[in-house]
Structure 1
Amino acid sequence: MPGERPAQTDPARPIPGPVTKPARRRRSSGIGVPIARSRFLMIAVAVFVGLGLAWWAATGLGLVKPIFLPSPGSVATQIAKLATDGTLWLDLKASMYRISIGFLIASALSIPIGVLIGSFRSWEAAIEPLVDFIRYMPVVAFVPLSILWAGTGDSQKFLIIFIGTFFQQVLMIMDNVKRVPADFIGLGRTLGLPDRKILTRIVVPSALPGIWDTLRISLGWAWTWLVLAELVAATSGLGYRITVSQRYFQTNTIIGYILLLGLLGLITDQVMKALEKVLFKQEGRSQ
């Protein structure tokens, strides 16, 4: 109509497209986030170096008396002296022999027993409660009895290492066996395999990586129980030398041998890890 304004139309508005969120930066650290091996080693070495520098500073600045904490140089000199006169090697040989035999005896018995009670409920009912009961008994309390039972020779050291590792190994190996998928066992039954073959061809091979890891962990405990046995009743060994050094306030020898024990434990642990990668590399690929 004349005099009327044409209807105003809104200008065309662009249709909004999909909103894109800014990409989050990938976190270099966090729960479950892997890091490069080089970075892992760098962090680990930095921690050791930092502790060493703190030790050197505390002793060098006189913050701690040498009788309580000797300097790194004093410890290194004393260990070098003991290595030169052969004392260190005799102690090391005695301790390595004792832990090898004691740990092998405990492992050789714990593996079949752990597999047995992990596979058959009747055997679990007969053995597991007793093992669980004994493992809570303090190993230290058995030291006087072990001297009465086995004397002060190497047999007593074997016994203490056995008591300290065997019962824990049995229960951990039992748990490793129980973690074998039930589908694997069901497949064996479907194929008509008897229990003996299911055990040897399915259960044990499937549980072996976990059993190996159990042995690696318990080997660290064995070092602790070895030193305990040698501290109380021994005439040689790393623990014995620590006791003798305590009588004469030779804290540099005590600190040196403690560090040596830590180094030996770390080396054996890394060797077990390396062997695990070689022996069970197929399992590692499948994960």
Structure 2
Amino acid sequence: MEPGVKKRAPQRLQIYKAIHPQAFLLTAISSFVLLIGVWLLLSTSGVVNPIFLPPPQAVLTELFVQLGSSEYWGHIGISVFRVFSGFALACAIGIPLGILAGTFKYSEAFIEPLMEFIRYMPAVAFIPLIMVWAGIGESSKILLIFIGCFFQLVLMVADLTRRVPHDLLHASFTLGASRWQAIDSVLIKAIRPQLMHTLRLILGWAWTYLVVAELVAVNSGLGYTIMKAQRFLNTEQIFVGLIVIGLLGLITDRIMAYLNKRMFPWA
């Protein structure tokens, strides 16, 4: 190699370089295989007591046992309902507020400092207040998931709205659009692809708040099954609950990614 000439990185290691979908899939599978391999090694070698880390085959057996039970599917159904109710409520209120805060400076000054202040408060800390406000019924679980998602969503939507190029707005005004027509026809349509990606992230947070929402005064849901298993030191059921939540979150994420590609192929 001539002096002063830098050696190029291998083709597959170039920054942002796309790889073949099959190579991506195999690499993704290998990460799961590695995780299961380490798990199997730790649980069967005696390094970790099987009571605290059961072997994968025991967890898999317990998973099939639980999925064969109609009662467990009832727990799954109520958890899905709670997650999507809290998420939908956060979207219904948070998206319009975020667009408003990202569009007008007075709205930004009125909305964003408050959102910034409250978003640093842990959602768990609201549990005593939620129980006072909403009791111990379904509304309290949904409200906690809503609180965990809402404030972040408003700020992220406002940031997306501000990123829309101003030239697009100027062009719409030149063509005779009114202020509200520009918001509807330019701003909202311009942020939709990235908004769907933002909603994927927020939905992931909603799933993480599920177990917290199901900690207090519940007798149903995946969080309830995890806490019940913890009381009896049934670690297989704890792992099953975590795996089911992870699978549900992954499935919903993939569905939203698919919808994003189908609805906004240009993005």
TM-score range, shorter chain: over 0.9
**CA-to-aligned-CA distance 1:44-67 (integer Å, 9 cap, x gap):** 001101111221222222322111
Alignment match of 2:136 (pick from 149, 152, 161): 152
Matches within 5 A, 1:119-268: 119-268=103-252
User: Which structure 1 residue ranges, 5 or more long, are not aligned?
Assistant: 1-20
Name the SS for the 2:177 alignment partner. Answer: coil
Length-normalised TM-score, structure 2? 0.94
Is residue 280 of structure 1 aligned with residue 264 of structure 2? yes
Q: CA deviation at 1:23?
A: 9.8
Task: Choose 1 or 2 for highest CA Rg.
Answer: 1
Identity of aligned residues (%): 43
- Structure 2 residues without counterparts, runs of 5 or longer: none
- CA distance in structure 1 between the aligned counterparts of 2:65 and 2:232, rounded to whole angstroms: 17
Tell me the TM-score normalised to structure 1 length: 0.88
**Closer, same or farther in 2 for the Cα pair 1:27/1:67, shift >3 Å?**
same
8 Å contact kept, 1:110–1:166: yes
Residues in 1 aligned to 2:142 and 2:15: alpha-carbon distance in whole angstroms: 41
Q: Which residue of 1 aligns with 2:65?
A: 81
How far has the Cα of 1:24 moved from its partner?
5.7
Tell me the CA shift for residue 85 of structure 1.
Answer: 2.9
Which letter does structure 2 place at the counterpart of 1:111? I
1:189–1:48 CA distance, 2 compared to 1 (3 A):
same
- Tell me the equivalent position of 1:93: 77
Q: Distance in 2 between matches of 1:55 and 1:226?
A: 25
Aligned partner (choices 20, 27, 30) of residue 36 of structure 1: 20
Q: Check 1:25–1:166 CA distance in 2 against 1; reply closer, same or farther (3 A cut).
A: closer
| Residue pair 2:101, 2:107 contacting (<8 A) in 1 also | yes
CA–CA distance in structure 2, aligned partners of residues 82 and 153 of structure 1 = 25
CA distance in 2, matches of 1:22, 1:250: 57
In structure 2, give the amino acid aligned to 1:50. L
Write out the 4+ residue segments of structure 1 that deviate beyond 3 Å after TM superposition.
21-26
